[in-house]
Amino acid sequence: MNAISKFSINKKKRNWPKFLIILGAILLFLIILNIFVSPVRNYFFTISSAIQKTFWTAGTSSSGLISSLLKSGSLTKENEDLKKQNQNLLYQVAFLQSIEQGNRAQSDVSISCQNTGFQFVMAGVIGLDKDILSIGKGSVDGVSIGMPVINQQNVLVGKVFKVYKNFSDIMLISNKNSVINVKVQQQNIASEIIIVNPDGTTTTSTDPAPETVEIAGVIRGSGALSAYLDLIPVNSEINSDDVLVTSSLEKSFPKDLLVGKITQNIKNDQKPFQQAKISLFFDVKNADNVFVITNYKKDN
């Protein structure tokens, strides 16, 4: 019995050096790997990008197919087209509101700068991991950290987070670490004017040029492709379907880019600010290409 227990202790003792050697080898392997992580990762993405892009496209088409089977016939495509048209129109509304409210000349200059001055790099989407989107363009294509990324409808996607030689990682605005300054643009606010007539009676009429109200707030990413609106002053009135665009306070992104719309207002009297559930305009599932703005600087 004693001999058996001695034997088992010896066996355990003999296992320790083996275990430490394996552990040491793994740690050494990890240290060496992390020294060369950038080229190694770039190599893996380069050899995988074609397969990954195929999987991504297959996912887009099969999810579209399944959803169209679940719904009916052409409804999905029609809905997509309408969404795109709607986003374009919303962009135009945001664009016009900005002109109306600010100094027209100044706005014209800044908007023309935004419309004509920006250079884009189109990049194909190849993968997504926890609100970090991988695209097939990297430092050799002129992409660098911090650059804003949008889609073709001028909807904000996020910003460049990591750059490798041939590909980059984009931190989506739904990422938990993402916080961006936005303004809430309320639509169709037709203020009523009460006119007191000489005979004492009152008549109401609608203001022909309604004043647009812009409320500042921030959008915080909550992960899993969702985000919420925060830091809206309690005295500000926000409604469902109000559109959110990037504000001029935001230095990482150009202003007036579409972000999303409010779906539900969450008002808590105990909190100094209001929050709201939002729906982001950028739909990663249907994104095949995005555009990196390469010449927008933080100091713009």
Partner 1 sequence: MWKKIVPVIFIFYIFVLLQNSFFNHFSLFGVAPNLVFTLFFLLVFFSPSKLEVILLAVIAGFFIDIFSYTYVGPSIILLIILSILLKKVLSSLKNTAESYPFIYFLPLFVIFLLAYILLKDLYLYFLDPNKMVINLSLNIIYSLVYSSIFATAFFFIYKRWLKFTK
Of 101-109, 112-120, 126-134, 264-272, which part binds partner 1 (CB under 8 A)?
126-134
144 binds partner 1 (CB under 8 A): no
Of 4-12, 218-226, 252-260, 292-300, which part binds partner 1 (CB under 8 A)?
218-226
Q: Which residue has the tokens 């809905």?
A: 79
58 binds partner 1 (CB under 8 A): yes
Torsion of CA 60, 65, 66, 72, to 10 degrees: 130
Candidate list 20, 30, 113, 145; residue touching partner 1; CB under 8 A? 30
224 binds partner 1 (CB under 8 A): yes
Candidate list 9, 37, 75, 113; residue touching partner 1; CB under 8 A? 37
Q: How many residues bind partner 1 (CB under 8 A)?
A: 41
223 binds partner 1 (CB under 8 A): yes
Of 44-52, 78-86, 181-189, 242-250, which part binds partner 1 (CB under 8 A)?
44-52
Candidate list 21, 44, 80, 115; residue touching partner 1; CB under 8 A? 44
Q: How far is the CB of 48 from partner 1 (least distance, A)?
A: 6
Quick one: 134 or 274, whose CB is closer to partner 1?
134
Of 1-9, 97-105, 145-153, 222-230, which part binds partner 1 (CB under 8 A)?
222-230
59 binds partner 1 (CB under 8 A): yes
Give which of 194, 218, 121, 217 is closest to 160, Cα–Cα. Answer: 121
Rounded CA-CA distance 86/94 in Å is: 12
266 binds partner 1 (CB under 8 A): no
Quick one: 141 or 169, whose CB is closer to partner 1?
169
Rounded CA-CA distance 177/221 in Å is: 7
For the chain, what is the HEC assignment? CHHHHHHHHHHHHHHHHHHHHHHHHHHHHHHHHHHCHHHHHHHHHHHHHHHHHHHHHHHHHHHHHHHHHHCCCCHHHHHHHHHHHHHHHHHHHHHHHHHHHCCHHHHHHHHHHHHHCCCEEEEEEEEEECCEEEECCCHHHCCCCCCEEECCCCEEEEEEEEECCCCEEEEECCCCCCEEEEEEECCCCCCEEEEECCCCCEEEEECCCCCCCEEEEEEEEEECCEEEEEEEECCCCCCCCCEEEECCCCCCCCCCCEEEEEEEEECCCCCCEEEEEEEECCCHHHCCEEEEECCCCCCC
Phi, psi at 130, each rounded to 5°: 50, 60
Q: How far is the CB of 227 from partner 1 (least distance, A)?
A: 11
Q: Mark 89-108 with x for binding to partner 1 (rule: CB under 8 A) and - for no binding.
A: --------------------
Candidate list 21, 22, 89, 193; residue touching partner 1; CB under 8 A? 22
76 binds partner 1 (CB under 8 A): no
Candidate list 20, 21, 26, 96; residue touching partner 1; CB under 8 A? 26
Q: How far is the CB of 225 from partner 1 (least distance, A)?
A: 4
Rounded CA-CA distance 204/121 in Å is: 52
Q: Provide the binding-site residues for partner 1, judged by CB under 8 A.
A: 22, 26, 30, 33-34, 37, 40-41, 44-45, 48, 51-53, 55-56, 58-60, 62-63, 126-130, 132, 134, 161-162, 169, 174, 176-177, 222-226, 284-285
